[in-house]
């Protein structure tokens, strides 16, 4: 074991890991474009954009020089009572890209805090108007992050069971499908009609952590219209779906109805530095304006509006203005569509889902779609041995690569997914 790994074992507590049984982590020393380089000389294709964040690939020169310039200019400054050009530029550019009404940008540090801020804004919006509402609607299978508010509105399962006692009450709608769509809308209407709901929160069109589960924009539009009818605020958690992932800049671009609040993070900085944004409408913001200090949104973090992260995000927006980025997104989409046809007919694949640059196959394991599928660790290790960093969600194997990934790199990933599925066929037929 290298000295680094020994020190890692001694001192580092890794996320989402059962340390006792986990294998040694990969020791990555550098990265370029879609490739991660390990200390032992091995190379790995970063098939999931390093936790779905690294949209433009690693070491992007435009982002690297924007960060270097900014750190020399202004590294960090308190953001209460102080502002700076990069935060202003970023807020103005993001609100220009979003629908007109979404104009007020609140800064935080990551996806969970962006969600936490959205929920606090929604509760305080009603509180400030002396119309307190305490209920929230979410979707079954949701994942919105790991802080307490974000966990409260997420799926209640093994991950957050030790904390469930502390969560606020949330009502859940089943995940929509062809058979239950209308029933769910009727159920939402009954709930919203109580007048007790402050907000509903969704991952628009795709639930990421639930296994890249996808649903239709018109169903979400119908749900948003019902929420509007009963004065329920609509929060879109676009932490995973934004920044070209779905083939459009935002998932909401597929919807007719737009949210009152949107949460952004992950690819916001090109996936290079941590940053979260919660963008609200002017109407929401107006409910916080008062001569009473306590009616303001009294929330913040030490690194709120960090100038280096803002510079990285502005540089990432520059890259989205380039034709090349969108032609890469189109190229990846075309490649994935071809693969979809091939995989759909495979006997060991339960379903294939794709949208934009996201492709997911659900393997038949006899256990259904579950994060704790026995195949998960086996598949992860198989991909590592074959030079692919691909982190399955249980029995769901998926790609959401950086947009600079080449067709050859994707081809390699697909060959190995196919080999894995073929192996299941052999295994299952021998039982």
Ligand X SMILES: Cc1ncc(COP(=O)(O)O)c(C=O)c1O
Contact call for residues 402 and 58 (beta carbons, < 8 A):
yes
The verdict on 203 binding ligand X (CB under 6 A) reads yes
Alpha-carbon distance of 161 to 4, in angstroms, equals: 33
Residues in contact with 334: Cβ distance below 8 Å, sequence separation at least 6, in sequence order: none
**Closest distance between ligand X and the C-beta of residue 275, in Å?**
9
**Size of site (CB under 6 A) for ligand X:** 14
Smallest gap from Cβ 6 to ligand X, in A, equals 28
- Under the binding rule (CB under 6 A), the answer on residue 306 touching ligand X is no
Strands 213-214 and 233-237: unpaired
Write down the least CB distance from residue 254 to ligand X, Å.
16
Closest to ligand X by CB, 57 or 145: 145
- Least distance from ligand X to the Cβ atom of residue 429, Å: 36
CB of 111 to ligand X, least distance (A): 2
Say how many CA atoms lie within 13 Å of 163 toward its Cβ. 17
Segment contacting ligand X by CB under 6 A, of 60-68, 190-198, 236-244, 395-403: 236-244
Instruction: Please tell me whether residue 237 binds ligand X under the rule CB under 6 A.
Output: yes
At its nearest, how many Å lie between ligand X and the CB of residue 271?
10
Point out which span in 26-34, 118-126, 138-146, 162-170 binds ligand X (CB under 6 A).
138-146
Residue 51 vs 288, nearer CB to ligand X? 51
Q: Toward ligand X, which CB reaches closer, 358 or 397?
A: 358
Within 173-233, residue ranges assigned H as helices are 181-192, 217-229
| Nearest CB to ligand X, comparing residues 160 and 348 | 160
- Residue 45 or 202: the one with the smaller Cβ distance to ligand X is 202
Q: What is the DSSP letter of 22?
A: P
> Of the ranges 141-149, 286-294, 372-380, 410-418, which one interacts with ligand X (CB under 6 A)?
141-149
Nearer to ligand X, 98 or 239 (CB): 239
Residues in CB range of 156: below 8 A, 6 or more apart:
164, 167
**Interacting residue with ligand X among 106, 123, 143, 236 (CB under 6 A):** 143
Q: Are 289 and 110 in contact (CB under 8 A)?
A: no
Using CB under 6 A, which residues numbered 29 to 48 contact ligand X? none
- What residue is closest to ligand X based on CB? 111
Among 144, 213, 258, 346, binds ligand X (CB under 6 A): 144
Distances (CA, A) of 55 to 114, 191, 216, 241, 319: 19, 38, 24, 11, 10
| In contact, 263 and 111? CB cutoff 8 Å | yes
Q: How far apart are CA 415 and CA 431, in angstroms?
A: 25
Q: Hey, which residues between 145 and 164 contact ligand X (CB under 6 A)?
A: 145
- Kind of pairing between the strands at 43-46 and 102-108: unpaired
SS3 398: strand
**Stretch touching ligand X by CB under 6 A, among 142-150, 353-361, 390-398, 399-407:** 142-150
Q: Which is nearer to ligand X, 204 or 247 (CB)?
A: 204
Q: How many residues does the chain have?
A: 431
Cα separation values, 298 from 38, 234, 285, 375, Å = 44, 21, 13, 46
> Which residues 402-431 are close enough to bind ligand X by CB under 6 A?
none
Q: How far is CA 403 from CA 60, 355, 357, 393, 398, in A?
A: 11, 14, 8, 21, 15
Beta-strand runs (E) in 251-348: 261-264, 276-281
Shortest distance in whole angstroms from residue 241 CB to ligand X? 7
With contacts defined by CB under 6 A, name the span among 23-31, 232-240, 289-297, 379-387 that binds ligand X. 232-240
With CB under 6 A as the contact rule, which of the stretches 137-145, 250-258, 313-321, 365-373 interacts with ligand X?
A: 137-145
Among 48, 265, 304, 328, binds ligand X (CB under 6 A): 265
Question: Site for ligand X (CB under 6 A): which residue of 240, 268, 310, 352?
Answer: 240
Spell out the alpha helix ranges (H) of 98-251: 111-128, 148-152, 181-192, 217-229
**Residue (57 or 271) nearer to ligand X, CB:** 271
Q: Which residues are within 8 A (CB) of 332 and not within 5 positions of it... i.e. 6 or more apart?
A: 357, 401, 403, 405, 410
Touching ligand X, residues 110-129 (CB under 6 A): 110-112, 115
Which residues contribute to the site for ligand X (CB under 6 A)?
110-112, 115, 143-145, 203, 208-209, 237, 239-240, 265
């Amino acid at each position: 074991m290298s000295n680094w790994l020994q020190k890692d074992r001694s001192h580092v507590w890794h996320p989402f890991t059962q340390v006792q049984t986990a294998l040694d982590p990969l020791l990555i020393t550098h990265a370029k474009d879609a490739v991660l380089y390990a200390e032992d000389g091995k190379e790995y294709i970063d098939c999931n954009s390093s936790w779905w964040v690294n949209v433009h690939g690693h070491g992007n020169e435009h982002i690297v020089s924007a960060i270097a310039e900014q750190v020399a200019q202004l590294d960090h400054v308190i953001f209460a009572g102080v502002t700076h050009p990069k935060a202003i530029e970023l807020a103005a550019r993001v609100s220009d890209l979003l629908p007109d009404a979404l104009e007020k940008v609140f800064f935080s540090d990551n996806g969970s805090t962006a969600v936490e801020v959205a929920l606090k804004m929604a509760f305080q919006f009603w509180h400030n108007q002396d119309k307190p509402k305490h209920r929230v609607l979410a979707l079954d299978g949701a994942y919105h992050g790991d802080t307490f508010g974000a966990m409260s509105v997420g799926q209640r399962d093994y991950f957050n069971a030790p904390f469930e006692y502390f969560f606020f009450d949330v009502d859940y709608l089943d995940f929509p499908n062809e058979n239950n769509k209308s029933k769910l809308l009727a159920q939402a209407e009954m709930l919203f009609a109580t007048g007790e709901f402050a907000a509903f929160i969704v991952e628009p069109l795709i639930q990421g952590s639930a296994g890249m589960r996808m649903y239709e924009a018109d169903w979400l539009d119908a749900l948003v219209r019902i929420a509007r009818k009963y004065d329920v605020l609509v929060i879109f958690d676009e932490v995973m779906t934004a920044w070209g992932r779905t083939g459009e800049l935002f998932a909401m671009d597929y919807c007719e109805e737009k949210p009152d609040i949107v949460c952004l993070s992950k690819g916001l900085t090109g996936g290079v530095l941590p940053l979260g944004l919660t963008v609200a409408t002017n109407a929401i913001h107006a409910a916080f304006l008062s001569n009473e200090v306590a009616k303001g949104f009294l929330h913040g973090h030490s690194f709120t509006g960090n100038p280096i992260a803002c510079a990285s995000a502005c540089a990432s927006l520059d890259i989205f203005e380039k034709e090349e980025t969108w032609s890469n997104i189109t190229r990846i989409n075309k490649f994935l569509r071809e693969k979809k046809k091939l995989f759909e007919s495979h006997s060991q694949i339960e379903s294939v889902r794709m949208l934009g640059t996201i492709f997911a196959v659900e393997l038949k394991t006899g256990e259904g779609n579950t994060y704790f599928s026995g195949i998960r660790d086996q598949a992860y290790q198989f991909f590592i041995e074959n030079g692919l960093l691909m982190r399955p969600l249980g029995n769901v194997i998926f790609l959401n690569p950086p947009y600079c990934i080449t067709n050859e790199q994707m081809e390699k990933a697909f060959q190995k997914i196919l080999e894995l599925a073929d192996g299941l066929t052999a295994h299952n037929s021998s039982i």
